[in-house]
Amino acid sequence: MTGKPHTRFQRANFVVEDIGKALTFYEDILGFEVTYRKGHNPDSYSIPVFEIPNGAELDFVILSLPGQPRVMALSGIKNIPMPPVPYPRRSAIVLDVADPDKVMADSQALGLQVYEEGRLETHDGRIGREIGIVDFDDNLVVIYLIPEAQQ
């Protein structure tokens, strides 16, 4: 028997239309760092599994946070129309942020939809703040903060 865990979470992936535009949110506001980037690859496994139509051009980045390597990816798809995401939303990433007020203000300044703040109550009774933000491609990011006194 090896020491390898049965399952290990590698990363989340959002499909976006324009990686450069998406990075103004993920890099500049949320603090992710691009640690790998690959341009179009016509043999990419993403084409069949994301059901990307012929004629699309792909772009791909892997993002890291300090002490959290390669936890997020963005798959850019160009040259095809991107239909709206159906509702209800089916996925989100959830991020613990140090300064939700700054993230909210900076996101609003980019023109992103920022939901009204909600009260977060964790499974173990801690109380915090949670805020939903929708990126340029209608992907949901939920940020939260639990004050240090409760941690």
Digit-coded pLDDT (tens) for 112-130: 999 999 999 999 999 999 9
Cα-Cα-Cα-Cα dihedral sign, residues 122, 127, 128, 132: positive
pTM of the model: 0.91
Q: What domains sit in the chain, N to C, each tagged with a CATH number?
A: 7-79 (3.10.180.10), 90-151 (3.30.720.110)
- CB neighbours (10 Å) of residue 32? 22
The pLDDT score that the predictor gives to residue 3 is 82
The pLDDT score that the predictor gives to residue 99 is 97
**Residue 57: C-alpha distances to residues 28, 73, 79, 126, 131 (Å):** 25, 17, 6, 45, 33
Q: In the block, which residue shows the tokens 């140090």? A: 98
Digit-coded pLDDT (tens) for 31-56: 999 999 999 988 888 889 989 888 89
15: Cα separation from own chain's centroid: 9
**Helix spans in the chain (H):** 19-26, 46-49, 100-109
Q: How many CA atoms lie within 13 A of 16 on its CB side?
A: 24
For the chain, residues with pLDDT lower than 50 are none
The pLDDT score that the predictor gives to residue 150 is 63
The pLDDT score that the predictor gives to residue 6 is 87
Under a CB-based contact definition with an 8 Å cutoff, are residues 88 and 112 in contact?
no
The pLDDT score that the predictor gives to residue 59 is 94
